[in-house]
Structure 1
Amino acid sequence: MTGAIGKNNSDLTEMNRSAVVRILQQQEVCSRADIARQTGLTQAAITKIVASMMEMGIVSEAGIIMNGDNRRSIGLRLNADRHQIIGVKFARQMFAVGVFDISGKIYIHTETKYPFEEDPRKVLSAMKEQIHTMLKKYENVVSIGLAVPGPYLRDEGRIAVVTQMSAWHTINFIEEFKAEFNKPVFIEHDANAGALAEWLFGGHTQPLHTLAYFLVGDGVGAGIIERGRLFLGVQGTACETGHISVDVHGPRCECGNYGCLEMYCSAPAILKKVKERVPECLPCENPQSSDACIAVFEAARAGNPKAMDVVRETAEYIGYGCVTLINAYNPDIIILGDVVSRGGDLLLPIVQEVVRQRVIPELHTKVRIKISALKVDPTLYGAAATATDKVLQLPSKFSAAGKRG
């Protein structure tokens, strides 16, 4: 039977464990009484759940703490360092690999660049080698997360369109990774992964209903989280904002559409504009698109009017993307991330003005637009968040006791 909606006792137990783990992941130390209050479960139920989780090595006691009512209680802490994650970011001209734990702490990360024309098999081989090296060094890794560009066909395991990299269209990431490691591997679209990173590790103090992560880098896309769950669509390709047409008579995109947003505000689009209008800004003869973005932002800050024109035009198109996200998903926050967001101080006022002009006041006054404040590359962080999210959903499956077995 498929599509069952009932819950067995074991399912409910796991859901309650997950709720406890998520509270501790966000609050670091918490008493049993506070957990009971936040979950709505009885203290007797929480005591039983916590006892089983301590036996599995998921949580431990952290000494005496003071509750909000000034009562002394025994604090509980998530054993985050016993549940480490390897995050992997695959991008058009680089990949990154890092080790994190489920609290979001980063231990190490590396970046490897490669040219567009590089054989995908060589890139995958180098990526796998680095993951194996980190698995040997960090014995508490429980799962691996991989973030890839979109549109990513979740069930098929492949990317439908990788601009300028047609050789990657036939690579099946599920087949490449499922038997390679003795740890579960979870693969996610890069913008969705960034959204998870913001939701789990962004430190947002205000309650969030709907979060939109707007990735503007080598590609353009969005990840939407509503009440803690990703909005995916039937094939996992929802929210491909970069392939929404902003000019139906514009140039043809590799996806088959015309005038896609990605062709106007992505890092490769900025590189093209800089080569044509402000070539003196480029740091070298054959720069990568990320280098061009950083260079044109620096030139604009220094007062170069041609560079500022490129930045202003880019910001306007990012604003059009935000207008689409607001009208389609009505988020309470939009977070701009990836390399283009490094021009945030230049981009944000223009983006906000476009939104003010093009969205009805009842909507645009309720949404905050900000630049990602994550200290780590949001997509790499998102790869780790993808795997972390699975651990938080099924904590007993990834417990320290389970690993020892």
Structure 2
Amino acid sequence: MSDSQPADLALMRELNERIVLGLLRQEGPISRAELARRSNLSRSTVSSIIATLLAAGLVCETGIGSSQGGRRPIMIEFNYQSALVIGIELGSTTLTLLLTDLAATVLRRAYVPFNSAEGPEACSTRLAEQVHRVLAEAAISRQQIVGVGVGVPGPLGYTTGRPSAPPVLPGWQGVPLRALLEAALGMRVFVENDANLGALAEHRWGAAQGWENVAYLYLGSVGIGAGLILDGRLYRGDIGSAGEIGHLMVEEDGPACRCGSSGCLEAVAGLPAVLKRARAIGLPVAQFGDLLSLARQGDHSAIALLDATGEYLGIAVASTLNMINPGCIVIGGSMAEAGELLLGSLRRTLQRRGLSIAVDHVTIIPGMLGSDVVAIGAVSIVVNHAFSVPAAARSNNGVAHEAMPV
């Protein structure tokens, strides 16, 4: 036997375990025989894998299933309480931190004032301090944490964990953020764009469950981005900049944008721009909730401003719809709280500007996961990496585990 054979066998065993775990995560309680059929693995291989996973606590037996004849099978289920995950949204002014189980059930949450202008090294240290504080308060050891997911605004080199050109995080470009965080935390870290994580969260646990092609519009506290799920999988593009909808031009000769262009969606419909315009017309607003309250009380200027903002959003969404033809568009983030005050004009603009066949087909819905959506998506990406089959190792036999959006 060559030296490489034991390693090859160990890798094959791990891949087979991930296939089984992926099926259990997707299908819920399922018998050993059905696992063998769905995975194309032998019954003896599946039985051996299940024995290992039972001993590790990753799966559990959950009762007796039905039978067409013969002995009724014992059902196997993924144990979502077998490990814990930390999901983080790293905003420019606020840090959102969740401690969850593998089903994203929140066990602890913290919202901490945060100043990204302090720079990546100082911010990594502060982030690590908050993580260790939450773990200490919950009496949780690092060994119970399977990984840490972190959402950041702006384009990101996914394989490198380095922000590419983040206008929201000046001074962070090219910084090895994942490596900094892993060194500070002593845990495995996954870093991803915030809108991408919002898309993953809503697709896995929220409003977009069951849809294969989804555009998630993230109206954040600072910027606007889109996360794209295409054919059931997250689409990042060649360099990680897919979905930068905030930098589509929607107003010729419009105001300057921090990206260096002008008339961008973010420059006219991003939250800071909307609040600036509100104050310019004399509305007494300190935050978006103030503007929303005025509109709900019938203030015509506030209503008109939200209507105009929705129209800008509709222009950008129409371009996205015409280009990628999603079946579902989910609107999330802090400004989505406006509901139809914003979405009404978005829909009307989409009707005017979108390709009619695509407009008639698409469903536009608000997100379900609220202000924690990015941190929940950060949990999702950790779980996917820990328990799904690596893309390079997937077969082309069409088994269900291939649909996991990593």
> 1:344 pairs with 327, 339, 346, which one?
339
> 2:217 pairs with 194, 214, 217, which one?
214
Unaligned runs of 5+ in 1: 1-7, 396-405
Distance 2:312 2:270 in 1: 10
- Whether the 8 Å contact between 2:153 and 2:166 is mirrored in structure 1 is yes
Distance 1:310 1:70 in 2: 68
What SS is found at the alignment partner of 1:221? strand
Identify the residue that residue 400 of structure 2 maps to in structure 1: none
Distance 1:358 1:183 in 2: 47
Q: Which amino acid in the other structure matches residue 138 of structure 1?
A: I
Name the CA shift for 1:22/1:302 in 2 (closer, same or farther; >3 Å).
farther
Distance 2:320 2:71 in 1: 46
Distance 2:383 2:63 in 1: 26
How do residues 236-247 of structure 1 correspond to structure 2 at under 5 angstroms? Answer: 236-247=240-251
Shift in Å, 1:11: 5.9
How do residues 242-391 of structure 1 correspond to structure 2 at under 5 angstroms? Answer: 242-280=246-284, 282=285, 287=286, 292-374=287-369, 377-391=372-386
Identify the residue that residue 101 of structure 2 maps to in structure 1: 101
Q: Which amino acid in the other structure matches residue 181 of structure 1?
A: L
How do residues 43-54 of structure 1 correspond to structure 2 at under 5 angstroms? Answer: 46-54=46-54
Q: Which amino acid in the other structure matches residue 233 of structure 2?
A: R
Identify the residue that residue 400 of structure 1 maps to in structure 2: none
Between stretches 315-324 and 42-51, larger displacement belongs to 42-51
Identify the residue that residue 130 of structure 2 maps to in structure 1: 130
Q: Is 2:192 aligned against 1:188?
A: yes
Shift in Å, 1:160: 4.0
Q: Which amino acid in the other structure matches residue 113 of structure 1?
A: P
What SS is found at the alignment partner of 2:107? strand
- Whether the 8 Å contact between 1:155 and 1:235 is mirrored in structure 2 is no
Q: Which amino acid in the other structure matches residue 316 of structure 2?
A: G
Shift in Å, 1:312: 0.5
- Whether the 8 Å contact between 2:207 and 2:330 is mirrored in structure 1 is no
Shift in Å, 1:337: 1.0
Identify the residue that residue 225 of structure 1 maps to in structure 2: 229
Name the CA shift for 1:305/1:118 in 2 (closer, same or farther; >3 Å).
farther
Q: Which amino acid in the other structure matches residue 60 of structure 2?
A: S
Q: Which amino acid in the other structure matches residue 225 of structure 2?
A: G
Between stretches 152-161 and 227-236, larger displacement belongs to 152-161
Q: How many residues align?
A: 378
Cα displacement string for residues 88-134 of structure 1 (whole angstroms, at most 9, x for unaligned residues): 11111111111112212111110112457556554433211011233
What SS is found at the alignment partner of 2:81? helix
- Whether the 8 Å contact between 2:155 and 2:164 is mirrored in structure 1 is yes
Name the CA shift for 1:156/1:204 in 2 (closer, same or farther; >3 Å).
closer
Shift in Å, 1:300: 1.1
Tell which has more relative contact order, 1 or 2 (C-alpha 8 A, sep 6+). 1
What SS is found at the alignment partner of 1:82? coil
What SS is found at the alignment partner of 2:257? coil
Distance 1:328 1:248 in 2: 21
Distance 2:371 2:378 in 1: 11
Unaligned runs of 5+ in 2: 1-7, 391-406
- Whether the 8 Å contact between 1:249 and 1:258 is mirrored in structure 2 is yes
Name the CA shift for 1:53/1:357 in 2 (closer, same or farther; >3 Å).
same
Q: Is 2:73 aligned against 1:73?
A: yes
- Whether the 8 Å contact between 1:220 and 1:266 is mirrored in structure 2 is yes
Cα displacement string for residues 233-288 of structure 1 (whole angstroms, at most 9, x for unaligned residues): 222111211112223422222212221111122111221122112432x2xxxx4x
- Provide the TM-score with structure 1 as the length reference: 0.83
Shift in Å, 1:306: 0.7
Distance 2:203 2:12 in 1: 23
- Provide the TM-score with structure 2 as the length reference: 0.83
What SS is found at the alignment partner of 2:305? helix
- Whether the 8 Å contact between 1:90 and 1:147 is mirrored in structure 2 is yes
Cα displacement string for residues 3-26 of structure 1 (whole angstroms, at most 9, x for unaligned residues): xxxxx7766654553343334334
Identify the residue that residue 179 of structure 1 maps to in structure 2: 183
- Whether the 8 Å contact between 2:117 and 2:170 is mirrored in structure 1 is no
- Whether the 8 Å contact between 2:256 and 2:267 is mirrored in structure 1 is no
Cα displacement string for residues 201-256 of structure 1 (whole angstroms, at most 9, x for unaligned residues): 226554x2212211111211111122332211222111211112223422222212
Identify the residue that residue 403 of structure 1 maps to in structure 2: none
What SS is found at the alignment partner of 1:258? coil
Distance 1:271 1:177 in 2: 33
